[in-house]
Structure 1
Amino acid sequence: MPAPGGAHMADAERTYSLLVVDDNDIDARNYGVLLRRKAPRAFSIVTASDGASGLALLREGRFDCLLLDFRLPDMTGLEFLQDAMSSGELSCAVVLVTGQGTEAVAVAAMQQGAQDYLVKDRINEDSLWRAITRAVTQKELRRSLAASMHSLKTVNAALEQEVAVREAAETEARAAKEVADRANIAKTRFVAMVTHELRTPLNGILGYAQLLRLEGGLSARQDQRVGAMLEAGQHVLEMIDQVLDLASIETGNLQIHPEAVSVAALCERCLAVIAPMAAARGLSLRLERNANAPAELRTDPARLRQILLNLLGNAVKYTDTGSVELRLAAGAVPGALRVEVADTGCGIRAEHLGLLFHDFERCGADSAVEGAGLGLSIVAGILRLLGGSFGHLPNPGGGSIFWIDLPPAQPEHRAADMPSATAAGPAAPLRILVVDDVAMNRDVVGAFLLAAGHEPVLAKDGRQALRLVRAGGIHLVLMDMQMPGMDGQETTRRIRALPGPAATVPVVALTAYSSPAQMAEARAAGVDGHVAKPVTYAALMSTIATVASGQSPAVARRAPPARDEAPRPPRLDRAALDATLAFVPAGEVAGHLGALQDSVEAMLALLNRRAPPTLQREAAHGLASTSGMFGLAALSAASRDFAHPAGAGAPEAMRLGRTLRQESAAALEVLAGIMREPRSRPP
């Protein structure tokens, strides 16, 4: 409801402190009458009849507005303003009152800091009220703007300093890496030279020791000493071989030669080598082969034999009584092989689990047990070259189970199609930027890239991706198409607009939505290839190889069956789950599954409280990818349909929401079961 005189209630409720400097008492009183008529309680007024007393009051008190007469007995209004501002800008608004009404006076007043001016014979309650309140508002807005600008400058200065610090740190890190690389090369050369120099005289020592035995004529005591010499020399030779293997793995010079291998035959030959050692310790040694284990595998037989002998030898060395078993079973995907070496030995203490597969770590082994702590580290390095995975589990009966998983075929494209540090090839591994707003997606795709020998670089949004591409050193970009803020298409367009070589970096789209229209839009934005979510290792590696080799744009996607023929996806696709977990480090499995559980619960909460549709669809988009990669196929499909209900009306949208709510609740039960399972499959 308007206040008296037409003022708005919000204005009338405010109290303005007003200083009136005017030598005409009648005019000064009239200003008070006009303002009280307009807003009875809005003003507290202090008056001064000359410039000197007005300046004194202005300096002593705090006023919202100064109503200043131009003609004063001791100075003009402009001179008053000049004197008042001699020590800095006035804190109050200024309205100049003049009887002349000339434009020159108004301009001069504005230049001196006034916000408005009034002509005396034209003043009424509305014009006076409007001039004062508008001047105060303008002054306050300018003060607020100045404060904001100061804050922005402060923040900008801090950001510039942070950027400078980061750039200095990156420069220092690059320099440190170069020093470390040079040191690593020098170390490798030194190792190669020293081991070569050791091997030559050692071969002579072992040769002469064997000749002494062959020639005969030794006493029992002499024969025992020669035997000890041979055993010690053989141990030194094995250590030299291990150091050479480790150096070859570190420098990427360990060669892999895949061929068809009879799994059972190779395992039996390994057991025959270990059998005398097991018999000497009174241990039973046996092979257990599951009927579904592949009979043949394409891999490097010499390196697989090296892995098995290492694991079997360790199992025998660390087992005093009981047995050692070599178990063969089918892997997580068709044609893959799972191998387990189980013993009934002392097991691995919890505090040593994190040291397994590290260089020169013996995990608290007794000094009487021979070894330099390199065996498991070499196993890990060779398995990475073979495209396999590895891990440790406690044996329920006491002891340890070391497991390895080998893919159905050795990935030969590593040397031929893709640059790799671990295969003979003309180029280094690719430095690949993974852009996705969902952290779990970045982690899993990054694990895929690491397993293939590439270097993943992670970005959570388009702006961060642009900065990384602009900085250089990125060979290929894996781009999520639907991200909040700057989406994948816009980010790709901006990459193509960058100056220099950065504009030509290949971009592969990662998205759950691959209709012809969407793919055409992505290609128009500058995308070179396409991989459908949930991402699989095989499809991703194939597309990267195609795009990086400069061939025609690659599209890796699954063509959906007709709607009336589409089978209902399972709530848990165990093969998809195991295929993803095979690339996730053992210590991160629980964290990933817990994060996925949190995402599902958040989706349910958004549905139950009827959050805004845009928020619900964004959450469903992220859930479609992560749930699919971890085998929750039905939830992935329901999330994808809900996030992009192509042409769906209100009834269909409600149906999709009910389906997503149902599948989310079911997925929580499935996840709870998975997290309760003992990790008998690759973590």
Structure 2
Amino acid sequence: MLEHLLVRWGARPVSFINAGNESLLMLCLAQSDFEGDRKAYWQSVIAQTPCPVIILANTTSFDLPTWEFPYGGEMLCKPFTRTQLVTTLRQLLQLQPLPLASEAVSKPPLTPRLTILIGDDNSSNRELLKAMLESDTLHIVLAESGQEALEFARHQIADMVLMDIRMPGMDGIQATQALRRINNSWARCPIIAVTAHVLSTERQQWLAEGLDDVLIKPIDDAQLQQLLQRFLGIAPRKAAPTEAASTRQSQVPTAPPSSLPAVDLMLGARLAGGRETLAKQQLVRLIDSLPESEQQIRDAFQAGDLTALLDWVHGLNGASRYCGAPELALLVETLETRLRTSGLRHVEALLDELYAAMTRLSQERDSLVSR
């Protein structure tokens, strides 16, 4: 199939053993080729090949080793779309647009616009991801529920989906399975779970149920660039020298909550891809949502309703992970872990700390608006 496509696009494929002075090497590697002696062997082949290399990886895991491409190279994880392959070939060989659908010479734009569908019931999370992703080459479609994502999919196609897992009504797993059943295009579309909290057993279950990978909020710019490269073949843009590293170090606070500030605008700006104004807006939205969240959490705990309590705690966890609110982020993450592993036992003290942190954060609203 791959050889047939390449011939249609004007290439002349040759076998690995007959290689000479080719313009591109394509390696289709299995999981075993990414480990130990096999990885060392293929790396030596790449080092001795004086042309760009595409690795077609039979895996969707993000836990892959790094590869050195002396003459340029990219990696695509299976299943990949024809558009992904065309985009990658064009980038590595600097080709003119390649015909996709027929033998006729029909020239698509030099940089075809790809569509990413974001499904999340939290409006702040949707808008932030949109702001971080949207560009001349990426068109972002927003869906506030699994059902809304399904309605879009019945009439249109996306190149990738970022799917929140815990949504009311149709959750992310159900929505993914429904999307896969629509047609072959949706069956092959990369669908990535996005969540603020996941246990290791849940991760494996989600992958078995049709998702291609799992991302934990907050998703920073470096993660998004890696995601676009792996699944869409889009070369990562240059990040600011310290942006990626400092974001990684500051995403998940490890200090005791009492020593963490209620507001950290530098952290918020990094989580918002360097957009300080957007970071402030996210914080204000979070603060404005706190009274309802606190009341619903109190009511659910008083009623002994673990499901409702988890829903509200998880929603607050997701919202706070994208903001520069480190104290609240750590407390609500700790609380959700405790609830999912131990239920309603031994959480009263954590809840009291959470309410106090919410109060401290709310007191910062006026100063944020005036800055």
Q: Per the shorter chain, which TM-score range?
A: 0.5 to 0.7
In structure 2, the CA distance between the partners of 1:676 and 1:445, relative to structure 1 (3 Å rule), is: same
Q: Secondary structure at the match of 2:118?
A: strand
Task: Pick the aligned partner of 1:629 from 314, 322, 325.
Answer: 322
Deviation at 1:613, TM superposition (A): 4.1
Task: Pick the aligned partner of 1:442 from 80, 105, 126.
Answer: 126
Q: Does 1:639 align with 2:323?
A: no
In structure 2, the CA distance between the partners of 1:533 and 1:427, relative to structure 1 (3 Å rule), is: same
Highest CA radius of gyration, 1 or 2?
1
Deviation at 1:667, TM superposition (A): 1.7
The farther-off stretch of 512-521 and 450-459 is 450-459
Deviation at 1:619, TM superposition (A): 2.1
Q: Secondary structure at the match of 1:495?
A: helix
Distance, in Å, in 2 between the alignment partners of 1:573 and 1:452 is 31
Q: Secondary structure at the match of 1:531?
A: strand
| 1:36-75 paired onto structure 2 within 5 Å | none
Deviation at 1:655, TM superposition (A): 2.6
Deviation at 1:566, TM superposition (A): 4.2
User: Which residue type is aligned with residue 256 of structure 2?
Assistant: R
User: Which residue type is aligned with residue 602 of structure 1?
Assistant: E
Whether the aligned pair in 1 keeps the contact of 2:121 and 2:167 (CA below 8 Å) is yes
TM-score, normalised on structure 2? 0.58
Task: Pick the aligned partner of 1:428 from 102, 106, 112.
Answer: 112
Tell me the residue number matched to 2:269. Answer: 578
Distance, in Å, in 1 between the alignment partners of 2:218 and 2:329 is 8
Q: Does 1:670 align with 2:364?
A: yes
Tell me the residue number matched to 2:347. Answer: 653
In structure 2, the CA distance between the partners of 1:484 and 1:641, relative to structure 1 (3 Å rule), is: farther
Distance, in Å, in 1 between the alignment partners of 2:136 and 2:308 is 36
| 1:390-539 paired onto structure 2 within 5 Å | 416=91, 427-451=111-135, 453-539=137-223
Task: Pick the aligned partner of 1:540 from 204, 207, 224.
Answer: 224
Whether the aligned pair in 2 keeps the contact of 1:477 and 1:505 (CA below 8 Å) is yes
Deviation at 1:495, TM superposition (A): 1.5
| 1:25-36 paired onto structure 2 within 5 Å | none
TM-score, normalised on structure 1? 0.33
1:150-176 deviations in whole A, cap 9, x for unaligned? xxxxxxxxxxxxxxxxxxxxxxxxxxx
Q: Secondary structure at the match of 1:471?
A: coil
Tell me the residue number matched to 1:404. Answer: none
In structure 2, the CA distance between the partners of 1:607 and 1:507, relative to structure 1 (3 Å rule), is: closer
Q: Secondary structure at the match of 1:567?
A: coil
Q: Secondary structure at the match of 1:647?
A: helix
Distance, in Å, in 1 between the alignment partners of 2:143 and 2:185 is 20
1:343-381 deviations in whole A, cap 9, x for unaligned? xxxxxxxxxxxxxxxxxxxxxxxxxxxxxxxxxxxxxxx
Distance, in Å, in 2 between the alignment partners of 1:496 and 1:559 is 36
Deviation at 1:634, TM superposition (A): 2.1
1:641-661 deviations in whole A, cap 9, x for unaligned? 333423225442223322221
In structure 2, the CA distance between the partners of 1:524 and 1:427, relative to structure 1 (3 Å rule), is: farther
Deviation at 1:582, TM superposition (A): 5.7
Q: Does 1:568 align with 2:219?
A: no
User: Which residue type is aligned with residue 476 of structure 1?
Assistant: M
Deviation at 1:603, TM superposition (A): 1.7
Distance, in Å, in 2 between the alignment partners of 1:478 and 1:431 is 11
Distance, in Å, in 2 between the alignment partners of 1:602 and 1:673 is 22
User: Which residue type is aligned with residue 669 of structure 1?
Assistant: Q
Distance, in Å, in 1 between the alignment partners of 2:112 and 2:285 is 34
User: Which residue type is aligned with residue 130 of structure 2?
Assistant: G
1:125-145 deviations in whole A, cap 9, x for unaligned? xxxxxxxxxxxxxxxxxxxxx
Distance, in Å, in 2 between the alignment partners of 1:628 and 1:416 is 34
User: Which residue type is aligned with residue 312 of structure 2?
Assistant: A
Tell me the residue number matched to 2:3. Answer: none
Distance, in Å, in 2 between the alignment partners of 1:444 and 1:627 is 12
In structure 2, the CA distance between the partners of 1:511 and 1:581, relative to structure 1 (3 Å rule), is: closer
1:591-625 deviations in whole A, cap 9, x for unaligned? 64442212112122224454644333222212212
Deviation at 1:469, TM superposition (A): 1.9
Task: Pick the aligned partner of 2:289 from 585, 596, 599.
Answer: 599
1:75-132 deviations in whole A, cap 9, x for unaligned? xxxxxxxxxxxxxxxxxxxxxxxxxxxxxxxxxxxxxxxxxxxxxxxxxxxxxxxxxx
Whether the aligned pair in 1 keeps the contact of 2:111 and 2:137 (CA below 8 Å) is no
Whether the aligned pair in 2 keeps the contact of 1:510 and 1:530 (CA below 8 Å) is yes
Task: Pick the aligned partner of 1:615 from 299, 308, 317.
Answer: 308
In structure 2, the CA distance between the partners of 1:666 and 1:507, relative to structure 1 (3 Å rule), is: same
The structure showing larger relative contact order (alpha-carbon pairs under 8 Å, at least 6 residues apart) is 2
Q: Secondary structure at the match of 2:168?
A: coil
Deviation at 1:510, TM superposition (A): 0.7
User: Which residue type is aligned with residue 461 of structure 1?
Assistant: S
Count of aligned pairs: 248
| 1:249-260 paired onto structure 2 within 5 Å | none
In structure 2, the CA distance between the partners of 1:670 and 1:614, relative to structure 1 (3 Å rule), is: farther
Whether the aligned pair in 1 keeps the contact of 2:306 and 2:343 (CA below 8 Å) is no
Distance, in Å, in 2 between the alignment partners of 1:451 and 1:629 is 21
In structure 2, the CA distance between the partners of 1:585 and 1:630, relative to structure 1 (3 Å rule), is: closer
User: Which residue type is aligned with residue 357 of structure 2?
Assistant: E
Deviation at 1:578, TM superposition (A): 1.6
Whether the aligned pair in 2 keeps the contact of 1:495 and 1:502 (CA below 8 Å) is yes
In structure 2, the CA distance between the partners of 1:533 and 1:659, relative to structure 1 (3 Å rule), is: same
User: Which residue type is aligned with residue 597 of structure 1?
Assistant: I
Deviation at 1:484, TM superposition (A): 0.9
Q: Once the two structures are aligned, what percentage of the paired residues are identical?
A: 24
| 1:323-362 paired onto structure 2 within 5 Å | none
1:13-32 deviations in whole A, cap 9, x for unaligned? xxxxxxxxxxxxxxxxxxxx
In structure 2, the CA distance between the partners of 1:607 and 1:590, relative to structure 1 (3 Å rule), is: same
Query: Which blocks of at least 5 consecutive residues in structure 1 are unaligned?
Result: 1-412, 418-424, 551-556, 678-683
Tell me the residue number matched to 2:77. Answer: none
Deviation at 1:573, TM superposition (A): 3.4
Distance, in Å, in 1 between the alignment partners of 2:333 and 2:123 is 18
